[in-house]
Amino acid sequence: MLRRLLPDSRQPARMVVFGFGLAVLVGTALLLLPVASTSGTPTNWVTALFTATSAVCVTGLIVVDTAAHWSTFGELVVLGLIQIGGLGIMTLASLLGLLVTRRLGLRMQRTAQTETKSLDLGDVRSVIAGVIMVSLTVETLTAAALTARFAIGYGQPLGHAGYFGVFHAVSAFNNAGFALYPNSLMRYATDPWVCVPVLVAIVIGGLGFPVLFGIGRRLRQRQRRLSLHARITLFTYGALVLLGTVTVTAFEWSNPETLGRFGIGGKLLAGVFHGITPRTAGFNTVEVGEMHPATLLVTDILMFIGGGSAGTAGGIKVTTFALLAFVIAAEVRGVPSVHVMGRKLPNGVQRQALTVVLLGVGMVIAATLTLLLLSPFGLDAVLFESISAFGTVGLSTGITADLPHAAQLVLVVLMFTGRLGPITLASALALRERGRRYELPEERPIVG
């Protein structure tokens, strides 16, 4: 009976969904315990489920203040779920990517001598060890920097500073956005000794383990070239960070409710912070709900795109966005095939990218329409909330806690599918790719 309930191990995408679903259920059960709340009474099941899903999916949307509602035990449960979610996403996505690469490599290149159809034990150990080493190293260094700043710069007791440093370091690297302050990191908006370590952890976690591994290998073997995936990710990620920083800083420069109340240095620091945090980090140093509508729209776009593949960031991923841009550019030029950085893109990859994007758009539209029907809030706020949940960002205009339970459950589903959907869908499509034995007569319908 139990074997029937468990997913088929030959279907890795199903295993991923099952594993994360189980983590959400266990986290919900722990947060329902009376000891998890500061009041000592059981928490509402919707609140517990929402928080557990947000933590496991490293989103950061909250319906109750983390420090005020949850006890130390509850905070540690949230922290553990964030760590499990971040490590799980990076590990499983990296393994799925390696599995896809090897299967397609065998099929297309016919190099059976050097490629295998499945991952061997050495590959699995290498990926898991690499992910854990990178995660713990970055989190430790970030926690040390934040602890020193909290203790020396703000006079916090060392134990308190260490606890806050570790919590925010783990949350930053995993792009979770959970904070132990009621207004996120707004009190540190002009403090580079807090903001910069957080931003560095966000970027490293958001690039993805394959890119980090490629950079490390490139530094050790100077003659080795970065993979196409790594080059596309780094270029697109950097371009989007620059675009986000410039637009947020320009649009909010004179807004007295956001950047307008800071000096030039503070404006630039906050502008950079909010140019990076839509990569799915979720922290904020200014009031998002007071931003100009144009800034919110730009943030919507950045949140939907997200960060790097096989990392802690969500969204459709920067590589998916870049691939579609390359396809469009080739089509506009009338080129029959898509060439990028000295390589040709397979037709199957182009179709997979298009599928992921269109399904993502459909999910956001469906969720936005549902939230509009279930809540009294306007389109700007609801759309922002939907994209934030789908992209596992965690930024909010402040309406999350005021949504009815039915609307919060919609966000729970959106966070879960948004976190796992692009990964499992892309891998499932790639692993199911097969040749066609015949072709039907060709006929072109009218486009446009």
Q: What is the pLDDT of residues 6-45, one digit of tens each?
A: 444 445 566 777 788 889 999 999 999 999 999 999 999 9
DSSP run (H or E) holding 343: strand 343-344
The whole-number pLDDT of residue 221 equals 75
**Of the candidates 153, 183, 380, 425, the residue with the CA atom closest to the CA atom of residue 285:** 183
Q: Where are the domains of the chain?
A: 11-112+119-431
- Count the neighbouring beta carbons within 10 Å of the beta carbon of residue 307: 32
Number of helical (H) and strand (E) elements in the chain, helices listed first: 17, 2
The whole-number pLDDT of residue 349 equals 81
The whole-number pLDDT of residue 382 equals 96
**Of the candidates 287, 297, 294, 285, the residue with the CA atom closest to the CA atom of residue 256:** 287
Alpha-carbon distance 265 to 238, whole Å? 22
Percent of residues, the chain, with pLDDT higher than 90: 57
Structure tokens at 256: 């007295």
Share of the chain residues as helix, strand and coil, in percent rounded to the nearest 5: 70, 0, 30
**Average pLDDT of the residues in 207-213:** 83
The whole-number pLDDT of residue 431 equals 52
- Under the banding of pLDDT at 50, 70 and 90, the label for residue 108 is very low
The whole-number pLDDT of residue 433 equals 56
379-386 LR contacts (CB < 8 Å, sep 24+): 380/293, 380/296, 381/289, 383/300, 384/296, 384/299, 384/300, 385/61, 385/411, 386/411, 386/414
Does 410 have pLDDT greater than 90?
A: yes
The whole-number pLDDT of residue 220 equals 77
Burial 373-404 (b: 16+ CB within 10 A, else e): ebbebeeebbbbbbbbbbbbbbbbbebbeebe
Structure tokens at 262: 């800071």
CA dist list (Å): 153 to 147, 161, 197, 279: 10, 10, 15, 28
- Under the banding of pLDDT at 50, 70 and 90, the label for residue 117 is very low
Does 288 have pLDDT greater than 90?
A: yes
**Average pLDDT of the residues in 219-223:** 71
Q: What is the pLDDT of residues 289-304, one digit of tens each?
A: 999 999 999 999 999 9
CB 180 within 8 A of CB 66: yes
Does 120 have pLDDT greater than 50?
A: no
More confident residue, 162 or 282: 162
Does 274 have pLDDT greater than 80?
A: yes
Q: What is the pLDDT of residues 126-175, one digit of tens each?
A: 777 778 888 899 999 999 999 999 999 999 999 999 999 999 999 999 99
Q: Is 252 exposed, middle or buried (0-12, 13-18, 19+ CB in 10 A)?
A: buried
Alpha-carbon distance 20 to 91, whole Å? 13
Answering whether pTM is above 0.75, one says yes
First and final C-alpha spacing in the chain: 53
Q: What is the pLDDT of residues 182-191, one digit of tens each?
A: 999 999 999 9
Does 112 have pLDDT greater than 50?
A: no
Among 95-109, 149-163, 194-208, the minimum mean pLDDT is found in: 95-109
More confident residue, 411 or 121: 411
